[in-house]
Structure formats: C-alpha cells, structure tokens
C-alpha cells in the first residue's frame, strides 16, 4: 500500500483545521467566518437587514484578511531571500495566532455581542491565522487543492468524477484525473470532518474546543516537505 506523502498529510491537516476554526468562529462569534471571506458578505447582509450583532467584525474581516495575506507574502519572500524555511516559519506563526485565538476566546468568551473590543480582537486573531494559511497554500502548495475554499474544489471533483465514469480518456489522462480527484476528495473530507467535529465539541465544551485546532496546526507545521 502506497504511503501518503508529507504534502498530502499536511494539506489534510490544514483542511481539517480550516473547517474546524471556521465552524467554531461561526458558532461563537455570531456568524463570523474566519477561514474565508465569502461567507462574511452573506452574514453581513443578514446582519444589516435584521439589525443583528456582528456588523463591525464582518466589515473589517476583508481588509484585515487582505492585509495579513500581503504581510505573510512579504515575510515569506524575505525569508526565502535569506535561505530560511519560509513555509515552516509562516505555519509556525499561524500556530501562534491560533493559540492567541484560543486564549482570547476562552478568557473573554462567550460573546453575546461580537462588536465588543474583546470579541473583535478574538475574531481578528482567528482571521489572521487563516489568512496566513491561505497565503502559504497559494505560494507553497499552489498545485494542490485549496484548504479553505471548498466551492471550486467541489465543482472540480464533480467534473472529474463525471469524466472518470465516462472512461477518463487515454490511460495517462485517466491517471491524472484519478490523482486530482483523490487529492480533492481528501481536502473535502478533511474540511467536512473539521466542521462536524467542531460543532460537536463546541456544543459540549465551548471555545475550549479550539485547543484541537492548535494541536492540529502544530502537527501540520512540524511536517517537513519539499517546499521547506
């Protein structure tokens, strides 16, 4: 049986973490998505229409996400120029941000009003962690499926499944389709597992469940891959 390579394991862990913290943020921060920005546009619209809490955090989520991605990219390029392991350093920084997210959440949460300074700082810590993960994904694992955005991956997996069921073309093309489908399936399953487990653990333990995300993030950061 072929053993999964380090990148496959890392991407699975990162996908799990993205689903886990996204679900936890949604439950504990009044609908704030920390791993991607698309959902925040929808929940922002709902908050504006219904007059519910969380408008400030959702408005600021996008510029913060963009700023952290830019800073992570600049830091990564500087590390590479100095022959330092940019990927591992940035993933370690993400773990520190996840730890801050965890510590702030359990110290000041729950947050009935997510517009308070403590709630905003907590949410921003989670967003910053996931922004770093997104930046690392795009720069170091650009050929692998995204670990935080599942819509495009679901579409591609569906297309590949249809092609494979139809024969997949010549043997080389079929092998490429199977390989891509397998990689995408792993990210989808890992993300979904993270969401489901977060829902179960948050219902029982509240923000303490974020300790799982810190441990998983640390495990991903410790894996050595060809990208450094």
Q: Please give the Cα distance from 219 to 201 (Å, whole number).
A: 20
The conformation of residue 208, written as its DSSP 8-state character, comes to: G
Could you tell me the residue range of the domain that residue 31 belongs to?
A: 7-222
Total tally of structural domains belonging to the chain: 1
Phi, psi of 36 (to 5 degrees): -150, 165
Determine the Cα–Cα distance for residues 145 and 163; give it in Å rounded to an integer.
Answer: 18
CA distance 186 to 196: 15
Across the range 23-31, mean pLDDT stands at 90
Q: Can you give the pTM of this predicted structure?
A: 0.89
Residue-wise pLDDT tens digits, 50-83: 656 667 877 888 889 999 999 999 999 999 999 9
CATH number, residue 134: 1.20.1250
Cα gap 68→47, rounded to integer Å: 25
**Residue 228 within a domain:** no
Listing DSSP states for 187-207 in one string gives HHHHHHHHHHHHHHHHHHHGG
- Written as six digits, the tokens of 212 are 């799982």
pLDDT for residue 226 is more than 60: no
Summarize pLDDT for 115-132 with one digit per residue, the tens. Answer: 899 999 999 999 999 999
Q: How confident is the model at residue 92 (pLDDT cuts 50, 70, 90)?
A: very high
- The answer to the question of residue 151 being in a domain is yes
């Amino acid at each position: 049986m072929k053993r999964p390579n380090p990148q496959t394991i890392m991407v699975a862990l990162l996908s799990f973490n993205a689903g886990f913290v996204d679900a936890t943020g949604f439950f504990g921060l009044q609908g704030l998505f920390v791993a991607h920005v698309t959902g925040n546009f929808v929940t922002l619209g709902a908050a504006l229409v219904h007059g519910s809490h969380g408008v400030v955090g959702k408005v600021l989520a996008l510029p913060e996400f963009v700023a952290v991605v830019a800073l992570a990219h600049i830091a990564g390029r500087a590390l590479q120029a100095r022959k330092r392991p940019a990927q591992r350093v940035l993933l370690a920084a993400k773990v520190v941000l996840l730890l801050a997210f965890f510590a702030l959440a359990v110290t000041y949460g729950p947050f009935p009003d997510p517009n308070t300074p403590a709630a905003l700082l907590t949410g921003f810590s989670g967003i910053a962690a996931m922004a770093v993960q997104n930046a690392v994904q795009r720069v170091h694992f650009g050929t692998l499926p995204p670990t935080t955005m599942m819509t495009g991956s679901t579409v591609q997996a569906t297309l590949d499944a249809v092609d494979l069921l139809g024969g997949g073309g010549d043997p080389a093309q079929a092998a490429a389709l199977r390989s891509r489908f397998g990689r995408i399936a792993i990210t989808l399953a890992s993300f979904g597992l993270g969401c489901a487990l977060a829902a179960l653990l948050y219902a029982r333990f509240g923000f303490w469940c974020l300790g799982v995300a810190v441990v998983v993030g640390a495990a991903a950061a410790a894996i050595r891959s060809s990208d450094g």
